Chain A
Amino acid sequence: QTRAISGRVTGSDGAGIPGVTVLEKGTTNGTSTGGDGSFSLTVQPGATLVLSSVGFTTQNVVVGDRTTVAVMLKEDAIALSEAVVVGYGTQSKADLTGAVTQVSGREVQNAPVPSFEQAIQGKAAGVFIESSSGKLGQGIKVRVRGTSSVSGDTQPLYVIDGIPIISEDQSATTAATNPIADLNPNDIESISVLKDASASAIYGSRASNGVVLITTKRGKSGDTRFTLGYQFGGSTPTNKRDYLNATEYVELMREAGTNVGRLATVESRLQRYSAGNNDYQQALVNTDWQDEAFQDAPFSQYDLSINGGNDKTRFYISGLYSDQEGILIGNKFEKISARVNLDQKATDKLTLGLNFGLTRTRNNRISNDNAFSNPMQIVALSPISPLIDPRTGLLSGQLDVATGLPNNNYPVYYNPLLSEAGASYVSTVYRNLGNVFAQYEFIPGLSLRSELGVDLLNQEEDQYSGRITARNNGPNGGDGFNRYVVNGRYTTNNFLTFRKTFNEVHLVEAVGGMAYEERRIKANSVTAQQFPSDAYTKITSAASITAGSSSETSSSLLSYFGRGTYSYSSKYLLSASFRVDGSSRFGKNNRYGFFPAASLGWVLTEEGFLSEQNVLSFLKPRVSIGRTGNQGFTDFISRFLYRANAYAGVPGQRPFQLANPDLKWETTTQVDAGLEFGFLDNRFSGEVDVYQKKTEGLVLSVNQPGTTGFTSQFRNVGDLENRGLEFALTTRNLIGAFTWTTSFNTSFNKNKITNLDGQVIEGGFLNRAVEGQPIGVFFGREYAGVDPANGNALYYLNTVNADGSRSRNTTDVYEDAERVIIGNPNPKWTGGVTNTFAFKGIDLSVLFQGVFGNDVYDGSGKFQMANGSNGYDNQTSDQLRRWRNPGDITDVPQARLFGGNGTEESSRYLYDGSYVRLKSVSLGYTLPTSLLEKVHLQTARVYVSGVNLLTFTDYPGWDPEVNADYLASFDPTNPSSGNISQGNDFYSAPQAKTYTVGINIGF
Chain B
Amino acid sequence: CNDKLDIEPVNDIPGENALLTSADVQAALVGAYDATSSNRVYGGYVQFISELLADDGDFEFVGTFVQPRETQFKAVLTNNSFVSATWNDSYRAINIANNVLANLDKVSEVERKRVEGEARFLRASLYFELVRLYGRAWNDGNPQTNPGVPLVLTPTVAFSAADKVARNTVAEVYAQVITDLSTAEANIAASNGFFATKAAAAGMLARVYLQQGRFAEAASAANRVIASNRYSLAPSYAEAFEPTANTSEDVFAIQITQQDGLNDLNTYFSPTQRGDIEVSDQHFERYEAGDERADFFDDVYTLKFDQQYGNIRILRLAEMYLIRAEGNLRTGGTVGATPLADINTVRERAGLPDLTSVTLADILKERRLELSFEGARLHDLKRNQEQATTPDSPPVIIPWNSPRLVLPIPQRERDVNPNLVQNPGYN
CB of B109 closer than 8 Å to a CB of A:
no
Distance between B85 CB and nearest chain A CB, rounded to angstroms: 9
A546 to B259 CA separation, bound complex (whole angstroms): 8
Q: Mark B1-36, 1 if CB is under 8 A from A, else 0.
A: 110111101111111111100001001111111110
**Also in contact, A705 and B413, with CB within 8 A (given A518-B4, A582-B2, A654-B96):** yes
Distance between B125 CB and nearest chain A CB, rounded to angstroms: 15
Contact B31 A709 (CB under 8 A): no
Q: Which of B156-164, B199-207, B227-235, B380-388 contacts A (4 or more CB under 8 A)?
A: B156-164
A518 to B4 CA separation, bound complex (whole angstroms): 9
Within 8 A of A (CB), among B26-48: 27-35, 37
**Also in contact, A646 and B9, with CB within 8 A (given A556-B4, A707-B91, A708-B159):** no
Which chain A residues border B258 with CB–CB below 8 Å? 546
Contact B84 A706 (CB under 8 A): yes
Pick the contact of B163: A516, A646, A708 (CB < 8 A): A708
**Also in contact, A647 and B255, with CB within 8 A (given A652-B27, A706-B87, A707-B163):** yes
Which chain B residues border A651 with CB–CB below 8 Å? 27, 30
A758 to B414 CA separation, bound complex (whole angstroms): 13
CB of B99 closer than 8 Å to a CB of A:
yes
Pick the contact of B12: A554, A643, A707, A710 (CB < 8 A): A643
Which chain B residues border A703 with CB–CB below 8 Å? 412, 415-416
CB of A819 closer than 8 Å to a CB of B:
no
Which chain A residues border B255 with CB–CB below 8 Å? 647-648
Within 8 A of A (CB), among B260-306: 260-261
A591 to B4 CA separation, bound complex (whole angstroms): 12
CB of B257 closer than 8 Å to a CB of A:
yes
Distance between A728 CB and nearest chain B CB, rounded to angstroms: 40
Contact A553 B9 (CB under 8 A): yes
Contact A709 B34 (CB under 8 A): no
CB of B94 closer than 8 Å to a CB of A:
yes
A558 to B6 CA separation, bound complex (whole angstroms): 11
Contact A708 B412 (CB under 8 A): no
Contact A649 B259 (CB under 8 A): yes
Contact B30 A646 (CB under 8 A): yes
**Also in contact, A704 and B12, with CB within 8 A (given A654-B31, A658-B157):** no
**Also in contact, A707 and B15, with CB within 8 A (given A558-B5, A646-B34):** no
Contact A648 B257 (CB under 8 A): yes
A710 to B152 CA separation, bound complex (whole angstroms): 13
Contact A704 B416 (CB under 8 A): yes
Q: Mark A709-738, 1 if CB is under 8 A from B, else 0.
A: 111010000000000000000000000000
Pick the contact of A707: B34, B37, B417 (CB < 8 A): B417
Contact B91 A584 (CB under 8 A): no
**Also in contact, A647 and B37, with CB within 8 A (given A708-B152, A710-B95):** yes
Contact B96 A655 (CB under 8 A): yes
**Also in contact, A640 and B15, with CB within 8 A (given A651-B27, A652-B34, A653-B31):** yes
Distance between A714 CB and nearest chain B CB, rounded to angstroms: 12
Distance between A122 CB and nearest chain B CB, rounded to angstroms: 41
CB of A941 closer than 8 Å to a CB of B:
no
A774 to B72 CA separation, bound complex (whole angstroms): 38
CB of B68 closer than 8 Å to a CB of A:
no
Pick the contact of A556: B7, B19, B94, B413 (CB < 8 A): B7
Contact B7 A709 (CB under 8 A): no
Taking CB as reference atom, which chain A residue is nearest B158? A658
Contact B159 A713 (CB under 8 A): yes
Which chain A residues border B9 with CB–CB below 8 Å? 553, 635-636, 639, 641
Which chain A residues border B413 with CB–CB below 8 Å? 705-707
Pick the contact of A655: B84, B99, B165, B417 (CB < 8 A): B99
Contact A642 B18 (CB under 8 A): yes
Which chain B residues border A805 with CB–CB below 8 Å? none
Which chain B residues border A551 with CB–CB below 8 Å? 11
A462 to B10 CA separation, bound complex (whole angstroms): 26
A703 to B411 CA separation, bound complex (whole angstroms): 12
Contact A647 B31 (CB under 8 A): yes
Taking CB as reference atom, which chain B residue is nearest A703? B416
Taking CB as reference atom, which chain B residue is nearest A549? B11
Within 8 A of A (CB), among B78-109: 84, 87-88, 91-92, 94-96, 98-99
Taking CB as reference atom, which chain A residue is nearest B193? A650
CB of B410 closer than 8 Å to a CB of A:
yes
Which chain B residues border A636 with CB–CB below 8 Å? 9, 12
**Also in contact, A591 and B5, with CB within 8 A (given A703-B415, A703-B416, A711-B88):** yes
CB of B150 closer than 8 Å to a CB of A:
yes
CB of A68 closer than 8 Å to a CB of B:
no
Taking CB as reference atom, which chain A residue is nearest B415? A703
A711 to B88 CA separation, bound complex (whole angstroms): 7
Which chain A residues border B259 with CB–CB below 8 Å? 547, 646, 649
Which chain B residues border A646 with CB–CB below 8 Å? 30, 34, 259-260
Within 8 A of A (CB), among B122-145: none
Which chain A residues border B10 with CB–CB below 8 Å? 552-553
**Also in contact, A648 and B260, with CB within 8 A (given A641-B15, A708-B152):** yes
Which chain B residues border A704 with CB–CB below 8 Å? 159, 163, 416
Which chain A residues border B261 with CB–CB below 8 Å? 647-648
CB of A656 closer than 8 Å to a CB of B:
yes
Within 8 A of A (CB), among B383-427: 410, 412-413, 415-417
Which chain B residues border A642 with CB–CB below 8 Å? 12-15, 17-19
Which chain A residues border B6 with CB–CB below 8 Å? 584
Distance between A712 CB and nearest chain B CB, rounded to angstroms: 9
A636 to B5 CA separation, bound complex (whole angstroms): 11
Distance between A706 CB and nearest chain B CB, rounded to angstroms: 4
A555 to B11 CA separation, bound complex (whole angstroms): 13
Contact A558 B417 (CB under 8 A): no
A556 to B9 CA separation, bound complex (whole angstroms): 12
Q: Mark A487-500, 1 if CB is under 8 A from B, else 0.
A: 00000000000000
A546 to B258 CA separation, bound complex (whole angstroms): 8
CB of A645 closer than 8 Å to a CB of B:
yes
A710 to B14 CA separation, bound complex (whole angstroms): 16
Distance between B44 CB and nearest chain A CB, rounded to angstroms: 16
**Also in contact, A709 and B260, with CB within 8 A (given A556-B4, A584-B5):** no
Taking CB as reference atom, which chain B residue is nearest A706? B88
Pick the contact of A647: B34, B155, B416 (CB < 8 A): B34
Taking CB as reference atom, which chain B residue is nearest A652? B30
Distance between A56 CB and nearest chain B CB, rounded to angstroms: 46
Which chain B residues border A670 with CB–CB below 8 Å? none
A640 to B159 CA separation, bound complex (whole angstroms): 11
CB of A932 closer than 8 Å to a CB of B:
no
CB of A659 closer than 8 Å to a CB of B:
yes
A706 to B92 CA separation, bound complex (whole angstroms): 7
Distance between A372 CB and nearest chain B CB, rounded to angstroms: 18
Taking CB as reference atom, which chain B residue is nearest A552? B10
Distance between A465 CB and nearest chain B CB, rounded to angstroms: 19
Which chain A residues border B35 with CB–CB below 8 Å? 645, 654
Taking CB as reference atom, which chain B residue is nearest A553? B11
Distance between B97 CB and nearest chain A CB, rounded to angstroms: 9
Contact A708 B4 (CB under 8 A): no
Which chain A residues border B31 with CB–CB below 8 Å? 645, 647, 652-654
A551 to B258 CA separation, bound complex (whole angstroms): 21
Which chain B residues border A709 with CB–CB below 8 Å? 91-92, 94-96, 98, 152, 155-156
CB of A669 closer than 8 Å to a CB of B:
no
Pick the contact of A705: B32, B98, B158, B416 (CB < 8 A): B416
Q: Assuming A647-B261, A650-B30, what are 15 further A-B pairs, CB within 8 angstroms? A: A547-B259, A553-B10, A553-B11, A582-B2, A584-B6, A636-B12, A639-B14, A644-B12, A652-B34, A655-B96, A657-B15, A658-B157, A704-B163, A708-B159, A709-B155
Smallest CB-CB A-B distances: 6 pairs: A709-B95, A652-B30, A648-B255, A640-B15, A642-B18, A654-B31
23 pairs, A vs B, C-beta closer than 8 Å:
A552-B10, A553-B11, A556-B5, A558-B1, A558-B4, A582-B2, A582-B5, A584-B6, A640-B15, A642-B17, A644-B12, A647-B33, A647-B37, A651-B27, A654-B92, A658-B156, A706-B87, A707-B152, A707-B165, A708-B152, A709-B91, A710-B159, A711-B92
